[in-house]
Amino acid sequence: MSPPPRRLAACARRAVGGETGGAGLLLAAAVVALAWANSTWSDSYRSLWSTTASISIADWHLSMSLGHWVNDGLMALFFFVVGLEVRREFSIGALTTPRRAALPVLAALGGLVVPAALYLLLSPVDANGAWGVVIGTDTAVMLGVLAVVGPRLATQLRVFLLTLTVIDDIVAVGVIGVFYSGSLDPVGLVLVAALASIIAAMSRRGVWTVAPYLVVGVALWLATLQAGLHASIAGMLGGLLVAAHRPRTEVVRSAADRFRAFREAPGVDVGRSAHRELVRAVSVNERMQRRLHPWANLLVVPLFVLANAGIDLRGGVLADALTSRLTWAITIALVVGKLAGILGATWAGVRTRLTGLPSGVTLGEVAGGAALSGIGFTVSLLVAGLAFTDPVDHDRAVVGILLAAVIATAAGWLAFRLAPGQPGQAGQPAPAGATRPDEPARSPVRAAR
């Protein structure tokens, strides 16, 4: 029988039911947060997330509010899974060759630069520093919405959007680390570099058990906090350093030999040896993704949304936000900027013959995916919490992010309805190494990203 945490994760996967279920869970968390924050129990919502929780071991002490434990603690796990997925894409996935990566890289750059430029053009001068709010895409919600409003079979389009958000994830975390971290501690930075080197060395030497990576990963997270960097850096960096590879022939052959030996002479020691060889055949990167992905996307991200989406819209707050230049700068940058940036860069790449569209995908379908990329949600909420110290501006930003998600969903649905071509045209077989349609959402983002 599998351990209780693994059984619980499997039950969660079955109960939530894939991408649409994961997106629905995030939507439910946002609705609960807004309803709670605007109810007669709104004080309990604020007091819950401001409650202090501490860990003490001898003279060592770490104390943060529950909101910070979610944002700076649990979200590190989310970004660790994102980092694992990014490394896999570069090692054996859709980013292994320049030709396969050219179009999504170009589209991602357009989807980063245009929204940021549009935000800077439209936002109040005193809020220009918050441009990072509009560069991210919530992959989990975007994929869930794509499954509902997109083509019936959208394998190639889904792979394209997933690959695009890989670059999006890397840049978003880099922006958080460079522009939204606190003052830096040199000793902490040295510790971060040392611990990162240990993870890289373990991966290079082929350490195949999960526990050492998790132990050093927790130490890396603590060092990141000491260094003054945001926790997302620890997660992404740790994940990127864990190599992914296809099953090695010699290891698979060894596992087969052990299983034959077990069949001929069943015994505890031979069975354990066969199991160990079978586990070794799959890279530690993919095994950690398998174990951690449900917890990150189905627990961590909904908790994050629950802790950050609850703003009190009473007392004229909503009316103020809807008439605020900041709110509409964020909404327009996400909805229009993502659509124009991704679609424009894709069209330019195809027009100049620098690259080509994936087999069976039309520009109209790219437009639908680009429109859905305006769903910033998780990453946008995270950056908004870091960028805005004024509660009024923060509430305006959250309203803009939520409004953009609604409009982007409607725009994506309309784009897919108007897209030329027959339904299901995007459902051609994915190229070797690309994400399979039966795999869980990578992102993240994937819940999000």
Tell me, what's the pLDDT at 45? 95
Interhelix angle 210-227/186-204, nearest 10 degrees? 160
Task: Reply yes or no on whether the pLDDT at 357 is more than 50.
Answer: yes
Tell me, what's the pLDDT at 19? 60
pLDDT in tens, 212-232: 999 999 999 999 998 988 888
Model's pTM, two decimal places? Answer: 0.81
The domain made up of 4-181+230-246+283-418 has a fold known as Na+/H+ antiporter like fold (1.20.1530)
Q: Are 62 and 54 in contact (CB under 8 A)?
A: yes
Average pLDDT over residues 302-319: 91
* Higher local confidence (pLDDT), 99 or 233: 233
Per-residue confidence band for 448, with pLDDT thresholds at 50, 70 and 90: very low
Task: Reply yes or no on whether the pLDDT at 439 is more than 80.
Answer: no
Task: Reply yes or no on whether the pLDDT at 412 is more than 90.
Answer: yes
Tell me, what's the pLDDT at 442? 42
Residues ≥6 apart with Cβ < 8 Å to 134: 115, 116, 118, 119, 330, 333, 334, 337, 376, 380
Task: Reply yes or no on whether the pLDDT at 404 is more than 50.
Answer: yes
pLDDT in tens, 363-387: 999 999 999 999 998 889 999 999 9
* Higher local confidence (pLDDT), 54 or 437: 54
Could you give the percent of the chain with pLDDT greater than 90? Answer: 48
pLDDT in tens, 75-130: 999 999 989 988 988 888 877 877 778 889 999 999 999 999 999 999 998 899 99
Tell me, what's the pLDDT at 337? 97
Per-residue confidence band for 153, with pLDDT thresholds at 50, 70 and 90: low
Tell me, what's the pLDDT at 436? 39
Break the chain into its structural domains and give their ranges: 4-181+230-246+283-418
What is the pLDDT of the chain when averaged over all its residues?
84
Task: Reply yes or no on whether the pLDDT at 320 is more than 80.
Answer: yes
